Each structure stands twice: as structure tokens, then as C-alpha cells.
């Protein structure tokens, strides 16, 4: 019995010691890939999108804590952790904008960086026709339209949308910063609904 208690105590102490050790950059990269994969695989579930956005936020905090313990890492690992934190922050903005689960406005660089992990299919809807461009991102049966502002100006964007069957239509207004993207419309609620975006106008602010 004493031997059993000793083994249990030793195992507990080892687990505790391991939990105090810092995660490696590859551990954080693995967690980042898991978030990107879960978002991609469950994108039609808005609650799950919220969960993955929150998980990205938490992961950024965890990397911050690791950077505070910089004596556990060498200079190359610290550089990698800083790079990973930027990637996590990019993914958080990407999930909010593409998944329509928050006020996400990723920069164009953040969008491209995050999508290299999510692997959404990106196509142009409008390019050089309006004050901002419009892209479509397709992930499985999910399709989202995003305004892309490639200029150096901040805009208040107005737009209209109309269903292909002309049975429904609407409009919207949102702010969009320079060199960034903003969610316009997605088909999560009505997957078979085909819509068109038109009449985009911008006012600088």
C-alpha cells in the first residue's frame, strides 16, 4: 500500500512539474492549427465559430505568458513565439470576419496569413469596379462575401444585396479601414440562397 501511495505521489509531482514547464513554439503552432481546422470543419455552426475565436484569443494570452518567461527560451524560440502570436491574432480577426462571429476587420496581410492555415477558396466578385473590391470565400457549403479596401483611406461603406430569385433584398452600412476587409453577407442561415452584391459607395472618414 505504501508503495502504491508513493507511486501515486510521484506521478502527481511529475505531472505538476511538467505542467509548469513552458510549451515549445511547436506546441503553440499545433494548437493554432487545431483552431484553424476546427473553424474550417464547423464553420456552419456559429456557436463553434465563437468558440474558436475565443480559443484564439486565449492562445494569444498563453503565448504572451510564455514570452514573459523568456528565460525559458533561446532567442530563436522567442522570435518564433512572437511570429506565432501575430499569426494567432490574425486568425482571431479572420474567424470574426469570415465566420461572422464578431466585429472582425483583418488587414489584408492578416487575412492572407490566416487563410494559409484555414485554406478557404477565395475568388473575386468585383475588382476595380467600386471604391472597394468584393471577394467571396468558400469553405465547404459556406460562402461569405467580404469587402476588401485596398486603398490607404478609411471609409464608411454602403452596399445593397438582392437574392437571385428577387424575393428578398437588403442593404447595409459599415466602417472599413485602410488595407482591411469587412464582412458583408454569408449563407449560414440559408445555405441554398444565392445573392448578389451591388451599389457599393464609400465616404471617407
DSSP per residue, 92-157: HHHHHHHTTSS----BHHHHHHHHHHH--EEEEEESSSSSSEEEEEEETTEEEEEEEE-SSS-EEE
36 phi/psi in degrees, rounded to 5: -60, -40
pTM: 0.87
In the chain, the percentage of residues whose pLDDT exceeds 90 is 85
Please say if the pLDDT value at position 11 is more than 80.
Answer: no
Please say if the pLDDT value at position 22 is more than 90.
Answer: no
Q: CA distances (Å), 7 to each of 4, 10, 15, 39, 92, in order?
A: 5, 5, 12, 41, 43
Please say if the pLDDT value at position 19 is more than 60.
Answer: no
pLDDT score at 4: 52
Q: Are 182 and 137 in contact (CB under 8 A)?
A: no
Amino acid at each position: 500500500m505504501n508503495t502504491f501511495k508513493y507511486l501515486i505521489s510521484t506521478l502527481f509531482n511529475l505531472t505538476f512539474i511538467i505542467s509548469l514547464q513552458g510549451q515549445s513554439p511547436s506546441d503553440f503552432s499545433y494548437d493554432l492549427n487545431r483552431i484553424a481546422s476546427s473553424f474550417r470543419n464547423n464553420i456552419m455552426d456559429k456557436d463553434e465559430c465563437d468558440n474558436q475565436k475565443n480559443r484564439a484569443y486565449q492562445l494569444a494570452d498563453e503565448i504572451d505568458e510564455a514570452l514573459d518567461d523568456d528565460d525559458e527560451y533561446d532567442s530563436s524560440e522567442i522570435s518564433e513565439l512572437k511570429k506565432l502570436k501575430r499569426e494567432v491574432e490574425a486568425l482571431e480577426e479572420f474567424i470574426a470576419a469570415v465566420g461572422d462571429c464578431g466585429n472582425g476587420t483583418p488587414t489584408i496581410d492578416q487575412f492572407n496569413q490566416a487563410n494559409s492555415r484555414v485554406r478557404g477558396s477565395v475568388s473575386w466578385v468585383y475588382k476595380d469596379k467600386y471604391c472597394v473590391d468584393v471577394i467571396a470565400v468558400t469553405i465547404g457549403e459556406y460562402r461569405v462575401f467580404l469587402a476588401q479596401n485596398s486603398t490607404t483611406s478609411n471609409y464608411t461603406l454602403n452596399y445593397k444585396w438582392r437574392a437571385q430569385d428577387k424575393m428578398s433584398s437588403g442593404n447595409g452600412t459599415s466602417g472599413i479601414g485602410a488595407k482591411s476587409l469587412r464582412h458583408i453577407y454569408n449563407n449560414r442561415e440559408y445555405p441554398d440562397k444565392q445573392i448578389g452584391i451591388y451599389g457599393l459607395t464609400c465616404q471617407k472618414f
